[in-house]
Structure 1
Amino acid sequence: MSVHLSEEEQLEAMKRWWKEYGKTIIISALVAIGAYFAWNAWQDQQRNKAETASATYEELLKVVSVEPGQTLGESQRSTAEHLAAELKAGDSTSLYAHNAAFFLAKIAVAQGDLDKAVTELRWVLSQKPDLATEQLANLRLARVLLAQQNYDEALSLVQTPPTTGFASEYAEVHGDVLKAKGDLDAARTAYEKALSSTTPQQQERFMVLQMKLDDLKQPTASIASPTATPEETAE
């Protein structure tokens, strides 16, 4: 007897195998094909969304770009707010959206609406952004809270400066809040830390910090309680 299957037996075995597994194979193939096209469609959608967001952000940058010393006109401000809102609604997790919220906060500060600025900066933080964006949002929020004389919350945001990135800026705002609270010795220490964290390229910043530190060397009676200006919150 032959040890090999005859053609008829091979055909019959194939039929039985196909009857048992054919449906599963077809379904698996259809699922794989569907997943492939769905993945491509999703990639196209994401690419289109990113391109749209990029174009909207470029338009926003053009609108908010003004000459030094100038402010946005009513029409410019309205357009900027509209574009920023589009970016936030399009993808709240994107850097475009977070930067749009920063612009909205800056516009609000220029208008004297500190509550609106706080809302925008808290929104950025609520989106769980990357570390650098989170640090910047905390820093700007602390400045606005200082301007609102909400010293304790402002202090909580900057009392532990990051080891990299905005270390000097955090220490400076920390000093500003401490000075506003009347803790001049602690403010002096914070300013010294801010000075030590500057780089050789930050000469202008070094001079500002040195002035703040020198101011604390004056008699206590001559030191006025500082109030953060809108311009400081926009740095």
Structure 2
Amino acid sequence: MSVHLTEEEQLEVLKRWWKDYGKTVITGIVAAVALYFAWTTWQEKQRNKAESASAHYEELIKILNVEQGKTLSEADKANAEHIANELKEKNGKTLYAQGAAFYLAKSAVDAGNLDKAVTELQWILASKPDIATAQLAHARLARVYVAKGAYPEALAQLSEEPSKAFASEYAEVRGDILKAQGNKDAAATAYKKALETTDPQQQERAMVLQMKADELKSADVAPATPATQEKAQ
């Protein structure tokens, strides 16, 4: 008896196999094709979205990039705010949206709307940004709270140890808070740390920090009164 199947037997086996598994195979193929096209469509959509966000962000930067000494016109401010809000609305949790929120926070501070600035910076933190973006948001939020006189809330923003890149700024803001609270010794220590961790190339920043530290020292020296001058003589 031959161990090889005849052509008719092979055909019969194929028919039976197709009857049992044909529909399953077709369904699997259709599902795989659909999944492939869904994936490629999603990728294309994400790519187009990213390109659109990049173009809008570049437009925002172009508007804000005014010549030194000049200020934005009211029309440019309105346009920049519109673009920033659109970036947030359509690109939430991306660097483009977070960058737009930073601009909106700064614009709010310039306008004296500190509550709005707090809202924008809290939005950035709620979007779970990367470490550097989060630390920048915490530092700026602390500054806004200082301006509001909310010192405990400001200090709370600086509770975590910052990376080297933000060590100086965190120390400076902490010094500003402690100074405002009347804790001059702790403020002086914070300013000293800020100076020690400042990039040597940031000379202007170092000068500002030194001025803050010197102001604390001069405040400790009581001004001479006529009575004390007479005693000294």
* TM-score normalised by L of structure 2: 0.91
Would you say how many aligned residue pairs link Structure 1 and Structure 2?
222
The unaligned stretches of length 5 or more in structure 2 are 223-233
Please tell me the residue identity of whatever aligns with 2:134: E
- 1:48 and 1:196 mapped to 2: Cα distance? 46
Q: Which moved more, 1:142-151 or 1:206-215?
A: 206-215
Q: Distance in 2 between matches of 1:57 and 1:163?
A: 27
Aligned to 2:122: 122
Structure with the larger RCO, 1 or 2 (CA within 8 Å, 6+ apart): 1
Residue 77 of structure 2 aligns to which amino acid in structure 1? R
Find the aligned partners of 1:111 and 1:77 in 2 and give their Cα distance.
11
Partner of 2:61: 61
1:2 partnered with 2:2? yes
| Alignment correspondent of 2:106 | 106
Residue in structure 2 matched with residue 227 of structure 1 by the alignment: none
The 3 A distance-change label for structure 1 pair 221 and 118 is farther
Tell me the residue number matched to 1:213.
213
Structure 1 219/93 Cα, relative in aligned 2: closer, same or farther at 3 Å? closer
Other-structure match for 2:26:
26
CA deviation digits over 1:3-49, x for unaligned, max 9?
Answer: 11121111111111111111111011011111111111111111111
| Paired residues of 1:161 and 1:171 also in contact (CA < 8 A) | no
The correspondence of residues 49-198 of structure 1 with structure 2, limited to 5 A, is 49-198=49-198
Q: Deviations over 1:139-160 (max 9, x none)?
A: 1111011001110100111244
CA contact (8 A) 1:101 1:121 kept: yes
**Aligned AA for 2:97?**
A
Contact (CA 8 Å) 1:98, 1:124: kept in 2 or not? yes
Indicate if the aligned counterparts of 1:159 and 1:174 stay in contact, CA closer than 8 A.
no
The structure with the larger Rg is 2
Which amino acid is 1:92 matched to? G
The answer to which of 151-160 and 168-177 deviates more is 151-160
Q: TM-score, normalised by structure 1?
A: 0.90
TM-align CA RMSD = 1.4
CA shift, 1:68, in A, is 3.0
More moved, 123-132 vs 155-164: 155-164
CA distance in structure 2 between the partners assigned to 1:184 and 1:19 by the alignment:
87
Contact 1:169/1:194, CA 8 A, preserved across alignment: yes
